[in-house]
Structure 1
Amino acid sequence: MLAIFLKTLPFFGLIGLGWLAARTRFFPEAGAVWLTKFVFFFALSAMLFRFAANLDLAALFDLRFVLAYLIGSSLVWVIGMAAALWRKLPLPEAAMEAQCCMTGNTGFLGVPMLVVLLGERAAGPVLMVLTIDMLVFSTLITLIIHASRSGGLRLATLRPILMGIVGNPMILSMVAGLLWSQFHLPMPGPLDEFLSILGAAATPGALFAIGASLAGRKAARLLASGWLSAAKLVLHPAAVGIAAILLAVEPFAAGVMVAAAALPVAGNVYILAQYFGVAQQRVSTAILISTAASIVTVPLVMLLIGQA
């Protein structure tokens, strides 16, 4: 356990450094915003494109893997929704809590950390998890909130959702990389080196940005946020792990899936909460609590799955 903890500690150390820099105001709030934009639009996109360009699409897509992650994540989503409705929360708030229960920080934390810890072989399963989260569950919550507020789904509702998916740089970079791979295009040396250098900035930049974004968050609604954090860190990896076993997913890919599911609540859930004006404080606190707790829970999960 100690060896695994020490392997993950530098990643969480970078998050802590970002938090300290922003907390002491050495790194201003505007700096965190622009650093996040640099990582999101440039460094992480370069990393994802380079990974995807070296993947075989036919080998990447595994129906059992997709079904296991979808079934496990959907079950946790339904549990989160049911728990919120049992507390008589409005439908938009219930959907936002359900989103917290199963949407992990795969883009900013999972891709950089898991690929470094588990090797580039982990890139395919991690990208698959990231794609499902963005295409399925982010679309689902957006549709639910729009439908609950407008009395039903309309064609005008779907357009901004589709535009958001098409304009997401992570999706664009993955699709572009997979097309590059599918057409067997050569990767010129200078381009590969350029992408490698730019993509290398994704890991420290993303982790530092996560920490800086946490500095301004205050803990509130602790009971509800604690439940959401526990569901994300414990219930989600357990659910996808059981689904992977039942569907006989290849062991290494199943381990990567479980490790990705064990990641803390994603920052983009707060972006959605802020955009829709739904449960912002609850989501913000869940991100804070789950990120802090994941310093212990992520190494524990990786020990249990034998992937570190």
Structure 2
Amino acid sequence: MNHSIVTEFLIVGLTRSPALQGVLFFVFLFIYLWAFLGNMLIMVAIVYNASLHTPMYVLLLALAIVDTVCTTTIIPKMLWTMLTSQNTISYGGCMSQLFSFTWSLEAEMVLFTTMVYDRYVAICFPPHYSTIMNAYMCVALLSIVMAIGITTSWVLTDLILRLTFCGPNTIDHFFCEITHPAGSVCSPVKVNEVMVYVADITLAVGDFTLTCISYCFIIAAILCIHTKEGKKKVFSTCSSHLIVVSLYYSPVIYTYIRPASSYTIEKDKVVAALYTLVMPTLNPIVYSFCNKGMQVGVRKVFPFLKL
């Protein structure tokens, strides 16, 4: 049972400087609109274009949904705080934000691993691709992504709900982040800390390791192709995913798996902004502008767009 006497939290935000609030408001408003509209563009193009109803684009559709949930969970509240200076969030709102953000973070990591598996099968076993990556396999993989995301976020959020907060109720961050459970906690947090590290090591390091192993096989398969054009064509099918994964895992691993002595709150805010705000904005750019199949699909649905 939760016996917390704290009913709301104060979110400090990215900066305490009033001079920067106006600039940051327009920066993150642009980021949110770009991420939201870009991911919606991807979702609509894939849903309404039969030629994109393939495993690779179905997984890309799932990624766009996860990115939309991530940005919508954090940025609108942050923009409202910047605009009105009302930097409070209710206890229930904080826990809801914590659950949604944790789900999107864990789901995205597993989804990246699933996407590289799709590319691994396509490049290393092309004759059997349609047999292996059939509709049932896609449903099974997406179900695993959903189950891992929900289970992990539910366990970690439930551990936070069991804590007793007695103040101060200030969160020196720009959202209710799992490693910053507000000010003074009047109950033991050892179990929470252990579970966070177990989840991070299992998912972040585990998924990253599986991704690296898969790309080793993919690169080996590409090197076996005799023609230069053939190598270029095959590599182009996974280059966008490789770019996104490289940019995504670096700040995530740095944030959650690092020595405590290297921790500073300001540095942590900047790094957290990379994987919560910047990456969902880059995904539509990388997957829409660098993917010819996606470009064709978008133009079929939205012929007035020039991609």
Q: Same fold (TM over 0.5)?
A: no
Query: TM-score, normalised on structure 2?
Result: 0.31
TM-score by length of 1: 0.31
Q: Which has the higher contact order (CA 8 A, sep 6+)?
A: 1
Larger Rg: 2
